């Protein structure tokens, strides 16, 4: 295993385990900093959308047109891009309703204790939430890994954006598990486990995709990565940012994320 693979796997591990940060926030913060979360989630969406549409999509197009010609290559790029969106939409459709990872949770929810007959339901909700987030994070791990393999700087930007949006997901897992069991440790464990699927997705990409990697396969996968990132931003990050929103902070965060990513790409080049 060479250093570039280790680096890419390390990035996905960092991004995935950020769910544990959300869990710690739920335990040790007295209130949810909604302004910070709204700006952060908007920033994450801005990074993902900009880098997907400006950088990843065109890298995929260049690889595919070089391998397959201008016309076929462009159509394959479009197929990969929208295929990534359709794939994430299907993942969301099969997730258990009780475990919807898009549901916003706040630290304040820890203060609203359940009645006795709610404990079983809350435990089930927490487990389903952890499972749903785990399923959801698997393709994100593939996307982060493949980006880091192709361009380490790009991989770092995506890993940071994914890590930011994993923080409220950690809160969503921790709150019901803590109520159902009364154990902070169990809540933290479930939160970390839900994030482990991110590096598992990266390992799957390394074991099953890397050995067969060609310009065509790389281009299709990278176009799919762009579609996945745009879908996550529009379907998950921005709606969550708006639910935490005060004024137009989520949009300010979105614009800031795009601007930072744009300047970073210029400086890197």
Q: What is the pLDDT of residues 127-152, one digit of tens each?
A: 777 777 788 788 888 888 988 988 88
Tokens for 78, please give them: 């479009």
Number of domain units in the chain: 1
Residue-level pLDDT at 69 = 94
Residue-level pLDDT at 51 = 87
Pick from 163, 154, 159: which is nearest to 268 by CA? Answer: 154
116 C-beta neighbours (distance < 10 Å), count: 6
Q: What is the pLDDT of residues 42-88, one digit of tens each?
A: 888 888 899 889 888 998 999 999 999 999 999 999 999 999 999 98
Tokens for 69, please give them: 């010609």
The pTM of the full predicted model, rounded to 2 decimals, is: 0.73
Summarize the confidence of residues 225-250 as an average pLDDT.
Answer: 82
Question: Which alpha helices (H) appear in the chain, and where do they start and end?
Answer: 3-16, 18-28, 34-50, 57-68, 70-94, 119-150, 152-181, 184-208, 215-232, 238-243, 249-268
Residue 233 to residue 86: CA distance in whole angstroms? 14
**Sorting pLDDT into bands at 50, 70 and 90, what band is 230?**
very high
Residue-level pLDDT at 64 = 95
| Mean pLDDT computed over every residue of the chain | 81
Binding residues for Fe(2+), as ranges, are: 137, 140, 166, 169, 198
Distance of CA 51 to the CA centre of its chain: 14
**Sorting pLDDT into bands at 50, 70 and 90, what band is 99?**
very low
Binding residues, as ranges, are: 137, 140, 165-166, 169, 198
Binding residues for Zn(2+), as ranges, are: 140, 165, 169
Which residues span the domain enclosing 258?
3-268
Candidate from 4-13, 53-62, 98-107 with smallest mean pLDDT: 98-107
> If you write DSSP's letter for every residue of 139-189 in order, what string do you get?
HHHHHHHHHHHH-HHHHHHHHHHHHHHHHHHHHHHHHHHHHHH--HHHHHH
């Amino acid at each position: 295993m060479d250093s570039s693979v280790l680096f890419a796997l390390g990035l996905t591990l960092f991004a995935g385990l950020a769910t544990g940060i959300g869990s710690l926030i739920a335990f040790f913060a007295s209130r949810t900093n909604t302004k910070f979360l709204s700006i952060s989630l908007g920033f994450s969406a801005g990074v993902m959308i900009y880098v997907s549409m400006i950088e990843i999509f065109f890298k995929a197009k260049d690889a595919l047109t070089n391998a397959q010609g201008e016309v076929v290559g462009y159509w394959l790029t479009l197929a990969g891009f929208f295929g990534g969106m359709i794939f994430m939409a299907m993942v969301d459709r099969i997730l258990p309703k009780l475990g919807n990872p898009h549901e916003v949770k706040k630290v304040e929810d820890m203060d609203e204790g359940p009645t006795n007959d709610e404990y079983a339901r809350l435990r089930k909700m927490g487990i389903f939430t952890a499972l749903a987030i785990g399923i959801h994070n698997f393709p994100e791990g593939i996307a982060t890994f493949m980006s880091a393999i192709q361009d380490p700087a790009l991989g770092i930007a995506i890993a940071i954006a994914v890590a930011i949006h994993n923080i409220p997901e950690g809160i969503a897992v921790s709150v019901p598990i803590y109520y159902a069991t009364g154990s902070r440790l169990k809540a933290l464990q479930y939160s970390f486990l839900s994030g482990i699927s991110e590096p598992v997705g990266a390992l799957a990409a390394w074991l099953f995709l890397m050995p067969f990697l060609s310009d065509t396969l790389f281009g299709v996968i990278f176009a799919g990565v762009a579609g996945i990132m745009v879908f996550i931003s529009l379907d998950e990050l921005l709606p969550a940012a708006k639910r935490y929103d005060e004024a137009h902070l989520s949009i300010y965060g979105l614009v800031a994320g795009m601007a930072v990513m744009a300047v970073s790409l210029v400086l890197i080049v």
